Structure 1
Amino acid sequence: MIQHAPPTTHSDRQSRLPLITISIPVLDEADNLDALYERLYCLAETMAGRCTLEFLFSDNHSNDLTWTKLSQLASKDCRVRAIRFSKNVGFQRSILANFMHARGDAVMQIDADLQDPPELLVVFFDLWRSGHRVVYGIRRARAEGAAINLFRRLGYWTIDKLSEHPIPRDAGDFRLIDRAVLDALTRMNVPSPYLRGMIAGLGFEQIGVPYKRAPRTLGQSKFNLARIAELGLAALINHSVVPLRLASFVGAAVLLISIVGGLYFVIEKIVQPDYPRGFARVYVLLLFGIGLNACLLGIIGEYLLRTYRILRGEPLAIVEEALNFRRDEVRL
Structure 2
Amino acid sequence: MNTSTGLPLISIAVPVLNEADNLDALYARLRKLGETMADRCRLEFVFTDNHSTDATWEKLTALASVDPRVRAIRFSKNVGFQRSILANYMHTRGDAVMQIDADLQDPPELLERFFQLWREGYHVVYGVREQRPEGRLINAFRKFGYWVIDKLSEHQIPRNAGDFRLVDRKVIDALRRYRSSNPYLRGMIAGMGFRQMGVPYGRSARVAGTSKFGLPQLIKLGITGVFNHSVLPLRLATYAGVFLLGLSAVGAVYYVVLRALHPDLPRGFTSIQVLLLFGIGFQSLLLGILGEYLLRIYLIIRSEPVAIAEETLNLGAAEINL
Q: 1:137 aligns with which of 122, 127, 144?
A: 127
Determine whether 1:306 maps to 2:291. no
Aligned residues with identical type, % of pairs: 64
Distance 1:156 1:13 in 2: 40
Distance 2:69 2:151 in 1: 41
Q: 1:149 aligns with which of 139, 143, 151?
A: 139
Q: 2:180 aligns with which of 171, 187, 190?
A: 190
Q: Is the CA contact (8 Å cut-off) linking 1:319 and 1:331 kept in structure 2?
A: no
Match of 1:56 in 2: 46
Please give the secondary structure, in 1, of the residue aligned with 2:11. strand
Distance 1:175 1:331, change over 3 A: closer
Q: 2:251 aligns with which of 236, 251, 261?
A: 261
Match of 1:206 in 2: 196
Pairs within 5 Å for 1:28-177: 28-177=18-167
Please give the secondary structure, in 1, of the residue aligned with 2:164. strand
Report Cα offsets for 1:178-198 as digits up to 9, x if no partner. Answer: 001110012211111000010
Determine whether 1:249 maps to 2:239. yes
Deviation at 1:217, TM superposition (A): 3.0
Letter of the structure 2 residue corresponding to residue 122 of structure 1: E
Distance 1:243 1:328 in 2: 42
Deviation at 1:27, TM superposition (A): 0.6
Distance 1:14 1:296, change over 3 A: farther
Q: 2:6 aligns with which of 13, 16, 19?
A: 16
Q: Is the CA contact (8 Å cut-off) linking 2:91 and 2:321 kept in structure 1?
A: no
Please give the secondary structure, in 1, of the residue aligned with 2:319. coil
Structure 1: state its 5+ residue gaps: 1-9
Q: Is the CA contact (8 Å cut-off) linking 1:140 and 1:210 kept in structure 2?
A: yes
Letter of the structure 2 residue corresponding to residue 29 of structure 1: E
Match of 1:282 in 2: 272
Q: Is the CA contact (8 Å cut-off) linking 1:22 and 1:108 kept in structure 2?
A: yes
Please give the secondary structure, in 2, of the residue aligned with 1:328. helix
Range that drifts further, 263-272 or 59-68: 263-272
Letter of the structure 2 residue corresponding to residue 64 of structure 1: D
Deviation at 1:132, TM superposition (A): 0.5
Distance 2:130 2:6 in 1: 36
Match of 1:317 in 2: 307
**TM-score using structure 1 length:** 0.95
Distance 2:321 2:193 in 1: 32
Determine whether 1:221 maps to 2:211. yes
Distance 1:280 1:247 in 2: 27
Structure 2: state its 5+ residue gaps: none
- Which of structure 1's runs of 4+ aligned residues deviate more than 3 A? 12-15
**TM-score using structure 2 length:** 0.98
Deviation at 1:76, TM superposition (A): 1.0
Letter of the structure 1 residue corresponding to residue 118 of structure 2: W
Distance 1:104 1:134 in 2: 14
Over aligned residues, Cα RMSD in angstroms?
1.2
Match of 1:5 in 2: none
Q: Is the CA contact (8 Å cut-off) linking 2:90 and 2:321 kept in structure 1?
A: no
